[in-house]
Structure 1
Amino acid sequence: MRFSLRRALAIGATLAVVGVMTPGAAYSQADDPRSCNDLMGADTPAYVVCVWLAKPEEALDVALFWGANDSANLKEATPQDGKFLDCSSPGDVCPTPEGEEISGDENSPVPEGAEDGGVPECEAGQECAIGGYEAGGDGTVSGSELGGSKLPVGAATTKNVTLQDTAAVAAAAQTPTGQAITAAKADGFRVWIDTELADDWKAGTTTFAAAVKRIGALAARPEVAGIRFTSQLGYNKNFKTAEEINTFVTAASTALRQAAPGKRLGVHTVVPEFACGANAACKTEMRKQYPLLVPEQLEASLTAGGIDQISLDTGLLYGGYTPWKISAEQAQRNQWIQVRASSWDVLAQVAAEETGLVGEVTAEQVASRVSKPVMDGAAQQVNLWTRVQNAQGTASRLTAWDELKKLTPIQRRMAAVYDLTTPEVDVATDLKKLSEVFGQIYLTTA
């Protein structure tokens, strides 16, 4: 292996670092030849001091030393001698904490006798350990790293390693959704999984745990940026009370963060009152019709579940406010003014969910419905449905390709909501076409 002078210089440069010290470590900087305080800005606090560990001219000497004679010194360098114990070597004895028995290899992911990624059998009422968690006879896993919460075995994770075996993740990658994720990533998309867990949650623990495990296996791949786990939250008939919504959002977000750590979580809903603006009669009626969609309630759900993204639907804006002589344009303006005033962007990323750009639309409609929410700073991105089916079963598809291509400056903020079960041509062809316009995609799956 050869070491070039450029590499040696890079090694030397790492030694020419600036040290930042606390007042206790700064004995006197006034006459210190190694001081580099002159490199700091005039507004730097007085308690922050700068010291060269290796001055620039010294760094060159370091680099030349290690690079001399074809880097001979670097090749001959060995780790500093130290005192180490090899617990497996004869004669080396490692201490064992009192009362504790150690078995298995230090690299064993699970207790001895359990299959890799599997779960040891526990009798009713018995507890046993799995990778730092305690597994009880009730089929749940809990651990301090999860805040003491319990979740179904196979869905929990620790340090970004899931308890479900790698075979489950590999199998998920071969499903239609998994293959679509692979194709979408290859086309340059930032990928979200779009699913509905409300029905699974209401169906009971077993069904909910299975759904979370399935989505977790899909989302475990690095190609996936986030999971949107419910749509029309509070608008559909899934929930009866605000407390029930909060319980669901908290349960789903907690389970998904354990099943797919590091993935962003989102919900889709609507706030009818926002589009009323200052019209008191409109606001009163909207609160009466949609008691679970008042701003305070949804904000409580966001806070309780620690949601990363909230998508606000614009469907009601088109004709839903005519009794108060509020046009679609006025309703849209009112909604985003209220969103900005609520400062929801501090709690989560805000997205506009646009379902009204399928079929024949004008250039003005595309500009106002896609550009304005982003350009006004109310929404950080806009989600466009690529297909909408009405109550009679007639489907309309996205057609405004030429107009959308003109929005290149905000392409990264534009996301397509794409249903894998209803392709226009086939999934691969559709994704390729969508990538010409959109930077993100929500892959809708069961």
Structure 2
Amino acid sequence: MARWLEGPAAFDTAIARLGKLAKRPGVVGFKISDEIGYNDGLGSPEDATRFLTQARTALARVAPGKQLLVDAIVPELGCLPWRGTNQLGCAERVRLKYPAATAAAVEGYLRAKLIDRLDLSTGLLDDSTYGKWGTSKREAQVDAWNHVKEQGWPQLTILQARKALAVPNGYQGNADEAAADVGTYIDVPTAAGARAVDIWTWRQQYQGNTVSLLGPDLSPNPLWTALVQQHRQGAQLLTHMTPSAMPTDQRGFDQECALAASAFTAVFVAAGSG
């Protein structure tokens, strides 16, 4: 599998470390931002543009030829502001709250050629909100991704989708829920031009719990079965692996990597972990 490296937060430390890691086999690029402009200290499009420009310049110097990936949640897309007054009000509120993560801001980064690959979340709302608006989460996802397609984003970058489906003790949904998740978060984006889908995460410590796609015994669940089938049908799926959360014995490590390869074509590896 190809590997994407996620750098540590401190900029100078990250650049120096990533320059060394770029020489490792299989490394195709670096993810340098998690949900850009969304509670990350970048309070304006200008702040985000400066950060991306500095990162691109520095990485071109220490890791020429490697791609730069950013992931983003654009919450106004989930509001569907082109649909009506209530939806527009929803979008205006989140634009004020996250000015560096608006659709206009993200499109600006793309048009400035600051991002080689974009992992995009449309910031879908809860089912009850969409029910009040006379639609569903799946239909909202179709609408949001069609809007992104109409805006030309697939022509501005290598566009990918993203969705967190890991929970403590592995995915807990039944077959119908897994089919709905795959339909909403994989089928819809890829039909609208997403080249791959980032499914978070293989296994990781998060908010005091170990979250994962599979349970501790690595036995399959309905989501895993669906992901493997998607992979067999040609879907490009990615996931995240944290080295410190992987088995320390070679046999266990190899087993998990082989299992992951049955569903995923590439992985993000946390460069700041052991």
Q: Equivalent of 1:216, from 5, 19, 23?
A: 19
**Alpha-carbon separation, structure 2, partners of 1:367 and 1:244:** 35
**Alpha-carbon separation, structure 1, partners of 2:108 and 2:125:** 27
Aligned to 2:212: 397
Q: Secondary structure at the match of 1:442?
A: strand
Aligned to 2:218: none
Aligned to 2:10: 200
Q: Equivalent of 2:186, from 351, 360, 370?
A: 370
Aligned to 1:239: 42
Q: Equivalent of 2:255, from 429, 442, 445?
A: 429
Is 2:58 the counterpart of 1:255?
Answer: yes
**Alpha-carbon separation, structure 2, partners of 1:301 and 1:256:** 17
Structure with the higher helix share, 1 or 2: 2
Distance 1:261 1:343, change over 3 A: same
**Counterpart of 1:283 in structure 2: which amino acid?**
A
Is 2:208 the counterpart of 1:409?
Answer: no
CA deviation profile, 1:348-407 (whole Å, cap 9, x unmatched): 111111103542133313431222211x1331110111246654x233310332221111
Aligned to 1:382: 197
CA deviation profile, 1:176-227 (whole Å, cap 9, x unmatched): xxxxxxxxxxxxx02211224xx423xxxxxx1x421211111123521111
Radius of gyration: which is bigger? 1
Is 2:124 the counterpart of 1:317?
Answer: yes
**Counterpart of 2:193 in structure 1: which amino acid?**
A
Q: Cα distance, 1:429 vs. partner?
A: 3.1
**Alpha-carbon separation, structure 1, partners of 2:155 and 2:33:** 21
Aligned to 1:328: 137
Q: What is the aligned residue count?
A: 245
**Alpha-carbon separation, structure 2, partners of 1:335 and 1:388:** 29
CA contact (8 A) 1:249 1:304 kept: no
Is 2:162 the counterpart of 1:346?
Answer: no
**Counterpart of 2:124 in structure 1: which amino acid?**
L
CA deviation profile, 1:321-351 (whole Å, cap 9, x unmatched): 8286464323322321121111111111111
CA deviation profile, 1:104-161 (whole Å, cap 9, x unmatched): xxxxxxxxxxxxxxxxxxxxxxxxxxxxxxxxxxxxxxxxxxxxxxxxxxxxxxxxxx
Q: Secondary structure at the match of 2:244?
A: coil
**Alpha-carbon separation, structure 1, partners of 2:155 and 2:119:** 14
**Alpha-carbon separation, structure 2, partners of 1:227 and 1:320:** 34
Unaligned ranges ≥5, structure 1? 1-188, 202-207
**Alpha-carbon separation, structure 1, partners of 2:194 and 2:49:** 24
Aligned to 1:191: 3
CA deviation profile, 1:408-436 (whole Å, cap 9, x unmatched): 1224x111122222237854332221011
CA deviation profile, 1:38-77 (whole Å, cap 9, x unmatched): xxxxxxxxxxxxxxxxxxxxxxxxxxxxxxxxxxxxxxxx
C-alpha RMSD over aligned residues: 2.4
Q: TM-score when scaled to structure 1?
A: 0.51
Q: Secondary structure at the match of 1:297?
A: helix
**Counterpart of 2:47 in structure 1: which amino acid?**
E
